[in-house]
Structure 1
Amino acid sequence: MNKALVVVLLSVTLDAIGIGLIFPILPSLLRELTDSVEISALYGAILAGYALMLFLFAPMLGMLSDRFGRRPILMIAMGGAAIDYLIMTFAPTVVILIVGRLIAGMTAASMAVATAYITDITEEKDRAKRFGYLGACFGVGFIIGPVLGGLLGEIWLRAPFLAAAIFNMINFAMAWFLLPESRPGKKSKFNFGEINPFSSLKWAISFINIRTLLIVYVGFSFVGSIYGTIWVLFTEDRYGWGAAMVGVSLALYGLFSVISQAALTGPITSWLGEKRAILFGLSFEMLALVLLAYFGQWWVLFALLPFFALGDVGGPALQSLLTSKISEDDQGKLQGVLMSLASIASIIGPLFFTQIYSLLRTDWPGGIWMIAVIIYVLMLPMILFGDKIRPGTFSMGNKK
């Protein structure tokens, strides 16, 4: 494993820890700043605003990294995030905190640039494996971050913001001293119209060889939002679990997912190929969802966690397949579009699944998992038959 890859993966891990640090204490901080107990609407609006910033800025940062190089865009985002978290540490009003969270959403869009960096330094045959590493590092960060944030929040409510600022300063220093440029910027004239996120989306769907795969990617992201949205509600309703058992189940879920993405994605994709690896992961996840829907014993959920983790193999394989169909000069733009689409799915998904769950929870709470299965079944023809166009490198001048 080369030095540049290690630096990027470590940076992603620290970035994910920094993001996760804030989750446990944000509601309490909002109550303190607003002097109000009821902050659910404001909290939801902040989460939605954060996702909206990802949608708008991921294509922009991805495109800028194609134009000016990955390293400077990453460093600007890391430095900006460090300053932003410092401001939020001492934010005297809720307005400043809200603005800070919106800026945090902008800088978090640099994940698209990190993914493009990995694409640059990785041969096509190894991309699924390294995207698996990337997902595993993000998973590790989201396991450590909330735990650390909760502990720090007990010491000082704003301490997690300060810790997040420090992590971003470390990332900036690593990029400055250790990270080489993976792809020099273009020397062509810069067109400000290119930073429009909607033009990037229009650019992506103009390629007939990836339209269906983009729909599948959105579908994966949409269904993926069900776990963070419904898991707590479902385990409370079906098993009567409290916070401790819910936390244990989520931690084990995350641990199995990290192991699967880090250790299994590469070998399975090499063995089956990208499309069959997608189907492999989807098969295990669908099986787990069906069994969880129909079997009410608590131990079944724990027994199914490895099956859910095997389902995580499909995402990196799909992302690798998409990169094979776009020019090397446009990988930043592609990753920005993918992150933008995922952010929209993360806004719509929770709204959809919570409404459906409210209708099912009394008579059959497990039915929500069958809704996810139905969506996956609808995507199967697109996975099986929507990828008939020969892979190759395409640019705006060649869309056939």
Structure 2
Amino acid sequence: MNTIPAPPNPRSAAFIFVFITVALDMLALGVMVPVLPKLVTEFSGGNVAQASVVVGIFGFAWAAMQFFFSPVLGSLSDHFGRRPVIVLSNLGMGLDYLFMAMAPSLWWLFVGRLISGITAATYSTAGAYIADVTPPEQRAAKFGLLGAAFGLGFVIGPALGGVLGGIDLRLPFWVAAGLSLANAAYGFFVLPESLPRENRARFHWRSANPIGAMAFLRRHPLLLGLAVSGFLQRIAHESLPSVFVLNTEYRFAWNSATTGLFLAAIGLASMVVSALLVGPVVKRLGERQTLYVGLAFGAMGFALYGIAPNSLVFMIGLPLLAMWGLCGPALQGLMTRHVEPTEQGQLQGAQASLMGVAGMTGPLLFTQTFAVAIRENGVLHFPGAPFVLAALLVAGALTAAWLTLRKT
């Protein structure tokens, strides 16, 4: 007897699309990572010192755009729906990559990075999409898979960008543009809307800005405490892109190959945790305990990075820091439970705005800490200081989460 196959679960199909969207978006972003500094150096006449300053300004400006515009896009997604924001964001990113691929000067490239910071809303809007289509008890696991998509793009992207950049420095920008535009077309023809019209909110400029986003968090004391926890650990995370390469070269004389392989290992380990461990651990321990466990592992991992006397001990910190990946999805799952369906976009926008602040302050904090820690004739020569500081910040995030959740 023939059986009729069950129709596909629309929620599963929607999640698969969002997973692909985030992976492609992060892949497009990752492709540019190894070539953007080299292109800036080329525009700077080969002056590496000047180029390093410019790259820092670019990073600060990108994070600033995220800070100002993430609440706007989050509120727009609450009003118009997630689908148009995701599709238009991918379209804007694709056109921006084309703009940067053809940039004739450093100023054009800088304008391109500003536009990129404005349009790079896919991940936060995707978070709101997942909250729309996923039952609360399953959200942490889905956010974990979303984190795996994020990691996948950043593992493959830089490697691909390095290969393409070896052919032509502008080729990665063209490829990134193609990926983003293909993603926009895919979303336009395939992605269903996740937010029903009856659950949409009116758009108000007073809430669609960083000040309004902070006011939104203050109206929900539990959200504010958890947002502080997320903010502290995000600052801690900035220690890795800011000083990891300089730190390991200074302390252990690592070359580019060793550093690249270790960073790839970090990405792969984080993907394994996000994709395979978050769901089972949350099911067994619950979101709250999973959050605590993940933060504890993160603090231990950074502390070991800071005090490691040699490369071998330093490498032992890798699995500890990978387990830190448990806390992000658990934190997201907890926060989405405490807002209405009409506010999921606003929540994601407020979080992204805070992450923008972290992106602006973290690099300055850790690079200056490292500079002071290795200064000749300094009070204390301690090159692991940036990672110890990161460990203290994650410990502070754990404290903030515990104080927020202990009475709930």
Structure-2-length-normalised TM-score? 0.91
Tell me, yes or no, if the aligned pair for 1:68 and 1:184 is still in contact at 8 Å.
no
Distance in structure 2 (CA, Å) of the matches to 1:5 and 1:61: 20
1:161-216 CA-to-partner distances (Å, cap 9, x unmatched) read: 10011001111121112110000346765434443332122222221222211111
Distance in structure 2 (CA, Å) of the matches to 1:69 and 1:385: 35
1:292, distance to aligned residue in structure 2 (A): 3.0
Say which of 24, 27, 34 aligns to 1:17: 27
Say which of 386, 390, 402 aligns to 1:372: 390
Distance in structure 2 (CA, Å) of the matches to 1:92 and 1:224: 34
1:389, distance to aligned residue in structure 2 (A): 5.7
Distance in structure 2 (CA, Å) of the matches to 1:157 and 1:379: 40
Distance in structure 2 (CA, Å) of the matches to 1:371 and 1:32: 35
Shift in alpha-carbon separation, 1:36–1:383, aligned structure 2, 3 A: same
1:290-316 CA-to-partner distances (Å, cap 9, x unmatched) read: 333333121222233111111110111
Tell me, yes or no, if the aligned pair for 1:213 and 1:322 is still in contact at 8 Å.
yes
Q: Which residue of 1 aligns with 2:42?
A: 32
Q: Which residue of 2 aligns with 1:315?
A: 328
Find out whether 1:268 has 2:285 as its counterpart.
Answer: no
1:193-244 CA-to-partner distances (Å, cap 9, x unmatched) read: 4433321222222212222111111111111111121211221111111111
Segment drifting more, 192-201 vs 59-68 = 192-201
Tell me, yes or no, if the aligned pair for 1:136 and 1:257 is still in contact at 8 Å.
yes
Say which of 141, 153, 166 aligns to 1:141: 153
Q: Which residue of 1 aligns with 2:339?
A: 326
Other structure's SS at 2:402 match:
helix
Shift in alpha-carbon separation, 1:275–1:361, aligned structure 2, 3 A: farther
Please provide the CA RMSD for this pair. 1.8
Distance in structure 1 (CA, Å) of the matches to 2:99 and 2:128: 29
Find out whether 1:383 has 2:395 as its counterpart.
Answer: no
1:357-391 CA-to-partner distances (Å, cap 9, x unmatched) read: 2222362222332222223333433222212565x
Q: Which residue of 1 aligns with 2:193?
A: 181
1:65, distance to aligned residue in structure 2 (A): 0.4
Other structure's SS at 2:221 match:
coil
Q: Which residue of 1 aligns with 2:3?
A: none
Tell me, yes or no, if the aligned pair for 1:209 and 1:389 is still in contact at 8 Å.
no
Distance in structure 2 (CA, Å) of the matches to 1:288 and 1:188: 42
Matched residue type, 1:109: A
Distance in structure 2 (CA, Å) of the matches to 1:29 and 1:307: 35
Matched residue type, 2:135: E
Q: Which residue of 2 aligns with 1:394?
A: none
Distance in structure 1 (CA, Å) of the matches to 2:205 and 2:291: 37
Shift in alpha-carbon separation, 1:96–1:265, aligned structure 2, 3 A: same
Distance in structure 1 (CA, Å) of the matches to 2:79 and 2:263: 40
Distance in structure 2 (CA, Å) of the matches to 1:270 and 1:277: 9
Say which of 6, 23, 34 aligns to 2:16: 6
Say which of 71, 80, 84 aligns to 1:72: 84
Tell me, yes or no, if the aligned pair for 2:232 and 2:396 is still in contact at 8 Å.
no
Q: Which residue of 2 aligns with 1:165?
A: 177
1:27-61 CA-to-partner distances (Å, cap 9, x unmatched) read: 22223334352322222111111111111111111
Distance in structure 1 (CA, Å) of the matches to 2:325 and 2:148: 10
Q: Which residue of 2 aligns with 1:393?
A: none
Structure-1-length-normalised TM-score? 0.93
1:330-351 CA-to-partner distances (Å, cap 9, x unmatched) read: 0001001111101211211111
Distance in structure 2 (CA, Å) of the matches to 1:104 and 1:295: 38
Matched residue type, 1:174: Y
| Identity within the alignment, % | 36
Say which of 319, 324, 339 aligns to 2:352: 339
Matched residue type, 1:285: G
Q: Which residue of 1 aligns with 2:252?
A: 239
Unaligned runs of 5+ in 2: 1-10, 376-380
Distance in structure 2 (CA, Å) of the matches to 1:94 and 1:359: 31
Find out whether 1:106 has 2:118 as its counterpart.
Answer: yes
Distance in structure 2 (CA, Å) of the matches to 1:376 and 1:358: 22
Other structure's SS at 1:53 match:
helix
Tell me, yes or no, if the aligned pair for 2:295 and 2:398 is still in contact at 8 Å.
no
Tell me, yes or no, if the aligned pair for 2:98 and 2:177 is still in contact at 8 Å.
yes
Tell me, yes or no, if the aligned pair for 1:282 and 1:314 is still in contact at 8 Å.
yes
Other structure's SS at 1:325 match:
coil
1:276, distance to aligned residue in structure 2 (A): 0.7
Tell me, yes or no, if the aligned pair for 2:71 and 2:349 is still in contact at 8 Å.
yes
Q: Which residue of 1 aligns with 2:166?
A: 154
Distance in structure 2 (CA, Å) of the matches to 1:43 and 1:170: 28
Tell me, yes or no, if the aligned pair for 2:151 and 2:270 is still in contact at 8 Å.
yes
Shift in alpha-carbon separation, 1:87–1:375, aligned structure 2, 3 A: closer
1:236-285 CA-to-partner distances (Å, cap 9, x unmatched) read: 11111111111111110111011011110111111111111011112222
Shift in alpha-carbon separation, 1:356–1:3, aligned structure 2, 3 A: same
Shift in alpha-carbon separation, 1:387–1:236, aligned structure 2, 3 A: same
Find out whether 1:199 has 2:209 as its counterpart.
Answer: no
Tell me, yes or no, if the aligned pair for 2:201 and 2:342 is still in contact at 8 Å.
no
Segment drifting more, 260-269 vs 181-190 = 181-190
Q: Which residue of 1 aligns with 2:308?
A: 295
Other structure's SS at 1:181 match:
coil
Distance in structure 2 (CA, Å) of the matches to 1:374 and 1:86: 42
Count how many residue pairs are aligned between Structure 1 and Structure 2: 390
Distance in structure 2 (CA, Å) of the matches to 1:187 and 1:364: 53
Distance in structure 1 (CA, Å) of the matches to 2:407 and 2:196: 30
Find out whether 1:130 has 2:148 as its counterpart.
Answer: no
Shift in alpha-carbon separation, 1:74–1:297, aligned structure 2, 3 A: same
